[in-house]
Amino acid sequence: MGFVVMPYLDKKMKYILFLFSLIIGADQTKALTLTTEDYPPFNIVDTKTQKVSGISTEKVSEVMHRAKENYTITPYPWLRAYQLAQKEFDTCVFSTTRTPEREALFKWVGPLVKNNWYIFAKTDDIRRPKDLKELKTYSIGAYRGDAIAEFLIKNGFKTDLAKADEDNPQKLIGNRFDFWASGELLGLAIIKRKKMENKITPILLFNQTEMYLACNLKLSQEKIDLYNKILQDMDKDGTNLAIENKYR
């Protein structure tokens, strides 16, 4: 009986090992998923094609190219993009502000860009708070899941949160809140897109931050180290500066 069973087990085991090798091979070639949002000029989403460009996008794409990484870039609303990178092991999100509250939630690649946080006001509003202390008596517009909103809430500001930052200029003009908090370049880009340059103006720089590629904690540290090394090389060889100059 033993002479009959052993060949059968041998063939079955070979088949199992063959299937296992296919699974391993497929996993090794699986594309890394990069999620993002529309946050010009760092991530700019074409509304017709959903193609993403921008300073951070080009830097991240170059890192992936030099690392010979298979990858996809997909835009989502910010909260969705952010949550996917927390839940899916092969996923990273950009451009993500690195804060103490977020530090342990991701593995970090960067910084990719610097981002100034500004308060925007209606041009005809005579109120001009000079610092955060003076600002605290007013209501501030921001958007859900954004680091600026998290900062304002943590520090006890009265906040009005939109689903997207694109909604806030109109809410500001409509007196839904007193001032609007956004990234400097993002806010200016939204104002220009909505043709509100004469209606809204930046009045107060209240924080300076850096934005990163934030990766799921299960992504290998070897990959994170490689991506950071490549990004440093791009600083040294002038690639990052060349990308930034394209968007000035």
Query: Could you read off the pLDDT of 27-39 as tens digits, one per residue?
Result: 446 899 999 999 9
Quote the pTM value: 0.85
Q: What is the mean pLDDT of residues 171-194?
A: 98
- With left for phi above 0 and alpha for psi between -120 and 50, is residue 50 left, alpha or beta? left
Same-domain pairing of 81 and 161: no
Residues 158 and 226 in one domain: no
- Mean pLDDT on 185-213: 98
Task: Tell me, yes or no, whether 132 and 182 share the same domain.
Answer: yes
127 vs 162: CA distance, rounded Å: 23
Instruction: Examine residue 1 and state whether it is found in any structural domain, yes or no.
Output: no
Question: Angle formed by the axes of helices 239-246 and 221-236, to 10°?
Answer: 70
Residue 13: give its domain's CATH number. 3.40.190.10
Q: What's the pLDDT at 12?
A: 52
Give 147: exposed, middle or buried? Use CB within 10 Å, 0-12, 13-18, 19+.
buried
Residues 181 and 59: their CA atoms lie apart, in Å, by: 26
Condensed to tens digits (0 to 9), the pLDDT of residues 50-97 reads 999 999 999 999 999 999 999 999 999 999 999 999 999 999 999 999
- pLDDT cut 70: percent of the chain above it: 88
What integer best gives the mean pLDDT of the chain? 92
Residue 120 and residue 132 in one domain = yes
Arithmetic mean of pLDDT, 121-138: 98
Q: Output the pLDDT for position 18.
A: 47
- 136 is a domain residue: yes
- Tell whether 23 is covered by a domain: yes
d(CA 83, CA 114): 23
Question: What average pLDDT does the segment 90-116 reach?
Answer: 99
Domain count, the chain: 2
- Reply yes or no on whether the pLDDT at 147 is more than 60: yes
pLDDT-wise least confident of 21-25, 99-103, 214-218, 222-226: 21-25
Q: For position 10, what pLDDT does the model report?
A: 55
Domain that holds residue 229: 8-114+211-246
Residue 11's pLDDT is 53
108 in the same domain as 17: yes
Burial zone of 161 (CB within 10 Å; 0-12 exposed, 13-18 middle, 19+ buried):
middle
236 and 200 within one domain: no
User: Is pLDDT of 14 > 60?
Assistant: no
Q: What is the mean pLDDT of residues 19-45?
A: 76
